[in-house]
Amino acid sequence: MSELKILQVSAEYFPLIKTGGLADVTGALPGALRALGCEARPLLPGFAAVLDGLQDPVEVGRCDLPWGRWVRVLRGQLPDPEGGAGHTTAYVIDSVALYQRPGGPYETPERQPHPDNHQRFAALAWVAVALAHGLDADWRPDLVHGHDWHAGLVPACLKAAGPPFVPSVFTVHNLAYQGLFARADFDGLGLPWHWFQPDGVEFHGQLSFMKAGLHYADRLTTVSPSYAREIQTAEFGCGFEGLLRHRHAALRGILNGIDERVWHPGRDRHLAAHYGADSLERRALNKAALQAESGLQVCPERPLFTVVSRLTEQKGLPLVLQACDLLVEQGAQLLVLGSGDAGLESAFRLKALQHPGQIAVRLGYDEALSHRIFGGGDVILVPSRFEPCGLTQLYGLAYGCVPLVRRVGGLADTVTDTDLLSLVDGSATGVVFERMERGDFEYALRRMLALYRRPQDWRQVQRTGMARPLHWSDAAASYLTLYRELLGRC
Ligand code: ADP
Ligand code: GLC
């Protein structure tokens, strides 16, 4: 059978442009699929960091956009992360007007959405269509796989463009970001006018890119089996639950994995001391270094609880704020690395001021520090309200930084609670709590503290988590099966 050709469309790609786990996934998947004999080429917006990282760019063609502009499409090579030997061929949309400006990929420096986001990400979709229809004479994808709302228009545009009909897969990483725009923004994007209706791209009077993906894609996936079930309910469906129930036969949950080129405690270049399951005592060096660099009292006995997170509503961090005093009272420390909501940022800063030496907060985005936290912290806290998959608990598991998580979404699918039974049968990997309530969370903290004080059990739980990291090869195999089913090439 000939090698499958997949065009992977996303706004983020590790290591070039990342605001969250989406980038980790899109950065890892092409390599994992390559290992299975399938070529996935990313298509990315030409943000400055992406153009800077694209090697040997050549122009493959120009693409006319329905609102009277055109863009250049480049093809080049993206190097593997961490100096790996492989390269990934990628397409990048070269448009200064659309993508090169101050601020983040989606927001202005004042944290407001860029006013032309509908055009910036509709352009991504129309270029995907052009490539699917042969813009690059040397390579034409068998199918197009889009990620999150930024690529939500891809399945719709593929259908609107007419033959040749190239099938699409759309992966939901987070239903809460819906790509909503005013009715007026719909005009000019090149979709049939009558698609602006509830049985199309309209969502309560607005245009939703997420809904376009959910409605028009041939197959839908999300990043864990639990989240695939949850989003069909009113509690987690963000208003799309009816549509998702309607499309449930096309929907599948495929768990994310860990990119071992980037996340491996035995060779992580950010760590002072490398280690494995049999040399966990070496983590003490990392812990001491981490305590010192973050202004915490350097003290091996104090359990070091950590957070690495976007500071948003989703992540349940008010629970951690409420528990700060308890943690310190119990002789523990807390280190928070995060950025986002201004209220949460200042609340954590205040806690650090109240407990100098025991609570420390680093506001901002710091990839290297995140590695040192997993390599030196004792516990990673992920008390999310909802969590499509979650990667930080996976990094915690792989690094022996024991996860404390809420039983929701991908967290529920990846962490096994510690109790007498799971200790005895050797399946315990963390601590899991049920409800978004202070009492439940604090009880979980106390259980974690008790476990920490039983060194033998603690080591066992660390080792069990480290022994079975979720590899990308498993996820890639599931995507490949899905692609083959869709193309009728089983
Ligand atoms: P989400 O995508 O919802 O933010 P995930 O757990 O899937 O959650 O992925 C978050 C990714 O972003 C992980 O790679 C995590 O290490 C990283 N991350 C989050 N916040 C920060 C930060 N402030 N500094 C460095 N890395 C961060
Ligand atoms: C989203 C989700 C997160 C998931 C990530 C990668 O950002 O919030 O749970 O791990 O995408 O799929």
CA 95 distance to own-chain centroid: 26
* 415: enclosing H helix or E strand: none
What local confidence, expressed as pLDDT, does residue 2 receive? 58
Q: How far is the CA of 474 from the centre of ligand 2 (A)?
A: 17
Of 391, 413, 472, the residue with max ligand 2 atoms within 8 A of its CB, to mutate for a pocket test, comes to 391
Of 25, 145, 173, the residue with max ligand 2 atoms within 8 A of its CB, to mutate for a pocket test, comes to 173
> Which atom of ligand 1 lies nearest, measured to the CA of 14?
14
Does 280-466 match 4-257+472-487 at the fold level? yes
**Cα–Cα distance, 247 to 268 (Å, whole number):** 42
pTM value is 0.97
Distances (CA, A) of 139 to 91, 286, 307, 486: 11, 46, 43, 20
Of 392, 408, 415, the residue with max ligand 1 atoms within 8 A of its CB, to mutate for a pocket test, comes to 392
Structural contact between residues 146 and 169, judged by C-beta atoms closer than 8 angstroms:
yes
| Closest residue to atom 10 of ligand 2, CA basis | 390
What local confidence, expressed as pLDDT, does residue 160 receive? 97
Q: How far is the CA of 466 from the centre of ligand 2 (A)?
A: 21
> For 4-257+472-487, which CATH superfamily applies?
Glycogen Phosphorylase B; (3.40.50.2000)
Q: How far is the CA of 21 from the centre of ligand 1 (A)?
A: 6
Q: How far is the CA of 390 from the centre of ligand 2 (A)?
A: 5
Confirm or reject: Cβ of 24 under 6 Å from ligand 1: yes
| Closest residue to atom 7 of ligand 2, CA basis | 21
Confirm or reject: Cβ of 176 under 6 Å from ligand 1: no
Give pLDDT tens digits for 42-82. Answer: 999 999 999 999 999 999 999 999 999 999 999 999 988 77
| Closest residue to atom 13 of ligand 1, CA basis | 21
The CATH code of domain 280-466 reads 3.40.50.2000
Helices (H), 187-282: 209-216, 225-230, 241-246
Domain extents for the chain? 4-257+472-487, 280-466
Give pLDDT tens digits for 232-276. Answer: 999 999 999 999 999 999 999 999 999 999 999 999 999 999 999
Provide residues with CB under 6 Å of ligand 2.
20-22, 25, 173-174, 223, 256, 387-391, 410
| Closest residue to atom 26 of ligand 1, CA basis | 367
Query: Residue 246 burial by CB count (10 A; 0-12/13-18/19+): exposed, middle or buried?
Result: middle
What local confidence, expressed as pLDDT, does residue 1 receive? 46
Q: How far is the CA of 53 from the centre of ligand 2 (A)?
A: 24
**Nearest residue to 465 via CA among 310, 195, 258:** 258
Matching residue, tokens 């806690």 = 351
Which residues, given as ranges, of the chain have pLDDT below 70?
A: 1-2, 83-84, 490
Confirm or reject: Cβ of 310 under 6 Å from ligand 1: yes
